[in-house]
Amino acid sequence: MFDRLIALIGEEKYKLIASKKILLIGVGGVGSYALEALVRNGFNNITIVDYDKIDISNLNLQLITDSTNIGHSKVIEAILRAKRIRNDILIEGHEKRLTSDNIDELLKLNFDYIIDACDSIDVKFTLMEKSLKYNYKLITCLGTAKKLDPSKLSITTLDKTNNDPLARILRKKVRDAKINKKLYCVSSSEVPKDIEVLGTANIVPSIAGLLCVSYVFNDIIK
Protein backbone atom coordinates (compact mmCIF):
# COMPACT_ATOMS: atom_id res chain seq x y z
CA MET A 1 0.00 0.00 0.00
CA PHE A 2 2.79 2.42 0.86
CA ASP A 3 5.17 1.77 -2.05
CA ARG A 4 4.83 5.31 -3.38
CA LEU A 5 5.33 6.84 0.06
CA ILE A 6 8.42 4.71 0.66
CA ALA A 7 9.75 5.72 -2.77
CA LEU A 8 9.47 9.34 -1.64
CA ILE A 9 10.89 9.17 1.89
CA GLY A 10 12.69 5.83 2.13
CA GLU A 11 12.07 2.65 4.14
CA GLU A 12 13.69 3.84 7.38
CA LYS A 13 11.69 7.05 7.61
CA TYR A 14 8.51 5.14 6.78
CA LYS A 15 9.23 2.76 9.67
CA LEU A 16 9.86 5.73 11.94
CA ILE A 17 6.47 7.22 11.05
CA ALA A 18 4.77 3.89 11.71
CA SER A 19 6.39 3.66 15.15
CA LYS A 20 5.13 7.00 16.49
CA LYS A 21 2.23 7.15 18.92
CA ILE A 22 -0.31 9.83 17.96
CA LEU A 23 -3.19 11.34 19.93
CA LEU A 24 -5.85 13.14 17.88
CA ILE A 25 -8.32 15.18 19.91
CA GLY A 26 -11.49 15.84 17.92
CA VAL A 27 -12.60 14.12 14.70
CA GLY A 28 -14.86 16.86 13.34
CA GLY A 29 -14.25 19.32 10.52
CA VAL A 30 -10.50 19.53 11.14
CA GLY A 31 -9.90 16.24 12.92
CA SER A 32 -11.63 13.95 10.41
CA TYR A 33 -9.29 15.16 7.67
CA ALA A 34 -6.32 14.88 10.01
CA LEU A 35 -7.25 11.28 10.74
CA GLU A 36 -7.57 10.50 7.04
CA ALA A 37 -4.09 11.89 6.43
CA LEU A 38 -2.62 9.94 9.34
CA VAL A 39 -4.12 6.68 8.10
CA ARG A 40 -3.04 7.22 4.48
CA ASN A 41 0.51 8.35 5.36
CA GLY A 42 1.68 5.35 7.32
CA PHE A 43 0.89 6.23 10.93
CA ASN A 44 0.00 3.00 12.65
CA ASN A 45 -0.64 3.83 16.33
CA ILE A 46 -3.45 6.35 16.69
CA THR A 47 -5.72 7.25 19.59
CA ILE A 48 -8.75 9.44 18.91
CA VAL A 49 -10.99 11.29 21.36
CA ASP A 50 -14.41 12.87 20.76
CA TYR A 51 -17.57 12.93 22.85
CA ASP A 52 -20.01 14.00 20.10
CA LYS A 53 -22.47 12.27 17.80
CA ILE A 54 -22.95 13.04 14.12
CA ASP A 55 -25.55 15.69 13.36
CA ILE A 56 -27.03 16.55 9.97
CA SER A 57 -25.25 19.92 10.22
CA ASN A 58 -21.93 18.05 10.09
CA LEU A 59 -22.45 16.79 6.53
CA ASN A 60 -20.86 19.82 4.88
CA LEU A 61 -17.70 19.64 7.00
CA GLN A 62 -16.73 16.24 8.32
CA LEU A 63 -15.15 13.48 6.25
CA ILE A 64 -16.52 10.67 8.42
CA THR A 65 -20.17 11.71 7.90
CA ASP A 66 -22.76 10.72 5.32
CA SER A 67 -26.53 10.43 5.09
CA THR A 68 -26.50 6.95 6.64
CA ASN A 69 -24.76 7.65 9.95
CA ILE A 70 -26.60 10.65 11.41
CA GLY A 71 -26.82 10.18 15.17
CA HIS A 72 -23.90 7.74 15.32
CA SER A 73 -20.83 8.16 17.51
CA LYS A 74 -18.10 10.15 15.77
CA VAL A 75 -15.41 8.02 17.38
CA ILE A 76 -16.96 4.76 16.21
CA GLU A 77 -17.53 6.06 12.68
CA ALA A 78 -13.97 7.38 12.53
CA ILE A 79 -12.57 4.01 13.56
CA LEU A 80 -14.75 2.21 11.01
CA ARG A 81 -13.50 4.50 8.24
CA ALA A 82 -9.87 4.03 9.27
CA LYS A 83 -10.33 0.24 9.34
CA ARG A 84 -11.94 0.26 5.88
CA ILE A 85 -8.79 1.90 4.56
CA ARG A 86 -6.34 -0.26 6.54
CA ASN A 87 -7.76 -3.17 8.48
CA ASP A 88 -4.47 -3.76 10.30
CA ILE A 89 -4.14 -0.25 11.75
CA LEU A 90 -3.85 0.14 15.53
CA ILE A 91 -6.52 2.68 16.39
CA GLU A 92 -8.16 3.23 19.76
CA GLY A 93 -11.11 5.49 20.52
CA HIS A 94 -12.31 7.29 23.63
CA GLU A 95 -15.87 8.60 23.67
CA LYS A 96 -15.48 11.25 26.32
CA ARG A 97 -15.47 15.01 26.81
CA LEU A 98 -11.97 16.09 27.75
CA THR A 99 -11.50 18.72 30.43
CA SER A 100 -8.54 20.23 32.22
CA ASP A 101 -9.39 17.91 35.13
CA ASN A 102 -9.41 14.56 33.31
CA ILE A 103 -6.88 15.08 30.52
CA ASP A 104 -3.96 13.64 32.51
CA GLU A 105 -5.56 10.19 32.20
CA LEU A 106 -4.72 10.33 28.50
CA LEU A 107 -1.45 12.23 28.66
CA LYS A 108 0.05 9.61 30.97
CA LEU A 109 -0.11 7.16 28.04
CA ASN A 110 3.04 8.81 26.65
CA PHE A 111 2.19 10.02 23.15
CA ASP A 112 4.90 11.23 20.79
CA TYR A 113 2.65 13.79 19.08
CA ILE A 114 -0.69 15.38 19.88
CA ILE A 115 -2.91 16.97 17.26
CA ASP A 116 -5.41 19.29 18.93
CA ALA A 117 -8.47 19.62 16.70
CA CYS A 118 -10.97 20.27 19.48
CA ASP A 119 -13.23 23.29 20.09
CA SER A 120 -12.45 23.86 23.78
CA ILE A 121 -10.23 26.80 24.69
CA ASP A 122 -9.62 25.30 28.14
CA VAL A 123 -8.43 22.00 26.65
CA LYS A 124 -6.25 23.78 24.10
CA PHE A 125 -4.56 25.82 26.81
CA THR A 126 -4.21 22.82 29.11
CA LEU A 127 -2.45 20.89 26.33
CA MET A 128 -0.03 23.78 25.90
CA GLU A 129 0.58 23.97 29.63
CA LYS A 130 0.96 20.21 30.07
CA SER A 131 3.47 20.05 27.22
CA LEU A 132 5.97 21.39 29.76
CA LYS A 133 5.40 18.31 31.92
CA TYR A 134 4.85 15.49 29.44
CA ASN A 135 7.22 14.58 26.64
CA TYR A 136 5.04 15.19 23.56
CA LYS A 137 5.07 17.57 20.63
CA LEU A 138 1.87 19.52 20.10
CA ILE A 139 0.24 21.08 17.05
CA THR A 140 -2.88 23.11 17.80
CA CYS A 141 -5.48 24.02 15.21
CA LEU A 142 -6.93 27.47 15.79
CA GLY A 143 -10.04 29.12 14.34
CA THR A 144 -11.37 28.07 10.92
CA ALA A 145 -14.92 29.44 11.17
CA LYS A 146 -16.00 32.62 9.33
CA LYS A 147 -13.15 32.19 6.83
CA LEU A 148 -13.12 31.21 3.13
CA ASP A 149 -9.51 31.34 1.89
CA PRO A 150 -7.48 28.20 2.65
CA SER A 151 -4.36 29.83 1.19
CA LYS A 152 -4.26 32.06 4.30
CA LEU A 153 -3.64 29.03 6.53
CA SER A 154 -0.11 28.29 7.69
CA ILE A 155 1.90 26.38 10.26
CA THR A 156 3.30 28.98 12.62
CA THR A 157 3.85 29.68 16.31
CA LEU A 158 1.20 31.11 18.59
CA ASP A 159 3.10 34.37 19.11
CA LYS A 160 3.14 35.04 15.35
CA THR A 161 -0.59 34.60 14.67
CA ASN A 162 -2.85 37.43 13.54
CA ASN A 163 -6.53 37.92 12.71
CA ASP A 164 -7.34 34.85 14.80
CA PRO A 165 -9.65 35.58 17.76
CA LEU A 166 -8.98 32.17 19.31
CA ALA A 167 -5.23 32.73 19.14
CA ARG A 168 -5.66 36.10 20.85
CA ILE A 169 -7.32 34.45 23.84
CA LEU A 170 -4.69 31.72 24.03
CA ARG A 171 -1.80 34.17 23.76
CA LYS A 172 -3.07 35.99 26.85
CA LYS A 173 -3.48 32.75 28.77
CA VAL A 174 0.04 31.68 27.81
CA ARG A 175 1.50 35.05 28.86
CA ASP A 176 -0.37 34.99 32.17
CA ALA A 177 0.87 31.46 32.84
CA LYS A 178 4.43 32.51 31.93
CA ILE A 179 4.82 29.66 29.45
CA ASN A 180 8.06 30.40 27.65
CA LYS A 181 8.35 27.99 24.73
CA LYS A 182 7.48 27.80 21.06
CA LEU A 183 3.88 26.65 20.68
CA TYR A 184 3.16 25.44 17.15
CA CYS A 185 -0.23 25.90 15.58
CA VAL A 186 -2.17 26.01 12.33
CA SER A 187 -3.75 29.43 11.97
CA SER A 188 -5.38 31.57 9.30
CA SER A 189 -4.38 35.19 8.76
CA GLU A 190 -7.67 35.89 6.97
CA VAL A 191 -9.90 38.50 8.62
CA PRO A 192 -13.03 36.65 9.84
CA LYS A 193 -16.35 37.48 8.16
CA ASP A 194 -18.54 39.82 10.17
CA ILE A 195 -21.39 37.39 10.87
CA GLU A 196 -23.00 36.31 14.13
CA VAL A 197 -23.04 32.53 13.60
CA LEU A 198 -19.94 30.36 13.26
CA GLY A 199 -20.45 29.79 9.54
CA THR A 200 -17.91 27.39 8.05
CA ALA A 201 -17.01 26.15 4.57
CA ASN A 202 -15.34 22.75 4.20
CA ILE A 203 -12.45 24.18 2.17
CA VAL A 204 -10.80 25.76 5.24
CA PRO A 205 -10.98 23.19 8.10
CA SER A 206 -10.12 20.34 5.74
CA ILE A 207 -6.84 22.00 4.75
CA ALA A 208 -6.17 22.90 8.39
CA GLY A 209 -6.41 19.21 9.27
CA LEU A 210 -3.96 18.27 6.54
CA LEU A 211 -1.54 20.95 7.70
CA CYS A 212 -1.64 19.57 11.24
CA VAL A 213 -0.54 16.17 9.94
CA SER A 214 2.01 17.82 7.67
CA TYR A 215 3.65 19.34 10.75
CA VAL A 216 3.89 15.94 12.45
CA PHE A 217 4.97 14.08 9.31
CA ASN A 218 7.71 16.52 8.36
CA ASP A 219 8.96 16.88 11.93
CA ILE A 220 9.52 13.11 12.03
CA ILE A 221 11.32 12.76 8.68
CA LYS A 222 13.36 15.97 8.75
Write out the chain's pLDDT in tens, 222 residues. Answer: 999 999 999 999 999 999 999 999 999 999 999 999 999 999 999 999 999 999 999 999 999 999 999 999 999 999 999 999 999 999 999 999 999 999 999 999 999 999 999 999 999 999 999 999 998 999 999 999 999 999 999 999 999 999 999 999 999 999 999 999 999 999 999 999 999 888 999 999 999 999 999 999 999 999
CA-CA distance, 59 to 136, in Å (whole number)? Answer: 32
Burial class (CB in 10 A: 0-12, 13-18, 19+), 108: exposed
How far is it, in rounded angstroms, from Cα 209 to Cα 187?
A: 11
d(CA 39, CA 6): 15
Over the Cα atoms of the chain, what is R_g? Answer: 17
What's the whole-model pTM score?
0.96
User: Three-state SS for 38?
Assistant: helix
Determine how β-strand 184-188 pairs with β-strand 153-157: antiparallel
Tell me which CATH code domain 3-221 carries.
3.40.50.720
Q: Is residue 186 within 8 Å of residue 141, measured between CB atoms?
A: yes
* Angstrom distance (rounded) from CA 36 to CA 29: 12
